[in-house]
Amino acid sequence: MTNKFDFIVIGAGMVGLSAALALSRQGLRGQVFDQSQGPQGAPDNFISNGERSARVSAINAGSVRFLSRIGLPQSFFEGAGSALRGMKIWDADGSAEASLPASGYIIENHRLIQGLDEAVRSAATSEIDPIQWQTGITDIIQSEGEVSVRLTSGAEISAPLLIGADGANSRTRELLGIRTIDWPYDQTALVATVQLHKPHEGIARQAFTREGPMALLPLPEVDQCVLVWSSTCADQRLADGDARFASLINQACEHEVGPVRGVGPRQSFPLFQRHAKHYVKDSTVLIGDAAHSIHPLAGQGVNLGFADVAALSELIDQLHYATDLTLSSILADYQQRRRLINWRMTAVTDLTKRLFDPPGPLLRWFRNAALRRIDSQTALKQVLSLAAAGEL
């Protein structure tokens, strides 16, 4: 393998592959490495018909436009995902609710990774395979103007730029010695596919329950959704039988979608907030969850990652025609821009989580009052919808 490239990406998730695609479209030559098996293996969390996974992402309108611009057309989302036509939020213990306009797509993670994998390979400017699965890193060696990585295969490659996109438990961040500010939440996310009695109509729904927020995200099939329940009783819910689990969903959501007709296998993952104290060290930059992880309450985690890539690729593109810029200066600019925005979203999400936690009487009253206020204010709805769509 030739060991000189224009960039190296560690992590072939959605954000890492989008970074490789954006830079490849600029004519740069890069390599992506990931320890996982790759996108072709079927997920193990399908529902009974073997077609749908419970691991999905809400891709907002701003992210769709960005991904379309770099080579993943909107027709891909129309074919692989479920279009969002609105949001509905309510208090499962009260009478308040709010409806909001929404746009974007709910798409299974593995399908988006497959699409990005194919797009990166199509955009590659070299005969060398641009994506190396089942390959991790063991060391990072930074020198002036260059960074080298040692791979688990024993090879060593180098480039002027290394991008760490290897998730919340980033090995890149660890090797660089970048510390984080983090804290766990008292909730665990439960995910499962569910079959509804009524059509979902492209509406994303979220109920605030005593255990935590319960979201139903529409899948392409008109009667199927992904349940994401950020619960304080996750161990108990994993142990519940399907009938008991379905009854709890019905208590919160039956008035909206009718009784649940089927529940797929349940999975869980811990919830926490984590933010890197620095995004940049010498010639290495962190993006996506490697730089910031937030509560999934607002569904904005991966969209923040795509916004990182959009900002970084835009700045790198300026190097092609602005002779007074250096890679070091644009990385510093990237860090200054994105840390402020990402911290702001982290704070908003964290505050919302705490305000809408399983409440006592005062918080329950506040929650219902807030939902009624949102539902009655057209201008406020527009602002919230723009924020959710990545327009602010």
For residue 175, give the 3-state DSSP assignment.
helix
- Contact status, residue 107 vs residue 77, Cβ threshold 8 Å: yes
- The low-confidence residues of the chain, meaning pLDDT below 70, are 1-2, 40-51, 94-96, 297-298, 355-392
CA angle 13, 106, 344 (to 5 degrees): 70
Q: What pLDDT shows up at residue 357?
A: 66
CATH class of 7-388: alpha beta
Strands (E), 45-179: 56-60, 82-83, 86-91, 97-100, 104-108, 131-132, 137-143, 146-151, 156-159, 162-164
Long-range contacts of 173-179 (CB under 8 A, 24+ apart): 173/276, 173/286, 173/290, 175/137, 175/139, 175/140, 176/140, 176/281, 176/284, 177/281, 178/276, 178/277, 178/278, 178/281, 178/286, 179/276, 179/277
Tens-place pLDDT, residues 272-306: 899 999 999 999 999 999 999 988 866 778 999 99
- Contact status, residue 218 vs residue 105, Cβ threshold 8 Å: no
Tokens (6 digits) for 159: 């480039």
CB count within 10 Å of CB 154 equals 7
Q: What pLDDT shows up at residue 380?
A: 35
- Contact status, residue 275 vs residue 182, Cβ threshold 8 Å: yes
Q: What pLDDT shows up at residue 103?
A: 87
Nearest C-alpha neighbor of 374 from the set 98, 190, 157: 98
Long-range contacts of 347-356 (CB under 8 A, 24+ apart): 348/298, 349/294, 349/295, 349/297, 349/298, 349/300, 350/273, 350/294, 350/295, 352/297, 352/298, 353/185, 353/295, 353/297, 356/208, 356/213, 356/297
β-strands 224-231, 212-218: how paired?
A: antiparallel
* Measured distance CA(375)–CA(76) in Å, rounded: 33
Tens-place pLDDT, residues 104-132: 999 999 999 999 999 999 998 777 889 99
Nearest C-alpha neighbor of 266 from the set 232, 296, 228: 228
Q: What pLDDT shows up at residue 348?
A: 81
Q: What pLDDT shows up at residue 371?
A: 60
pTM, two decimal places: 0.89
β-strands 56-60, 104-108: how paired?
A: antiparallel
Q: What pLDDT shows up at residue 387?
A: 44
Amino acid at position 149, single letter: V
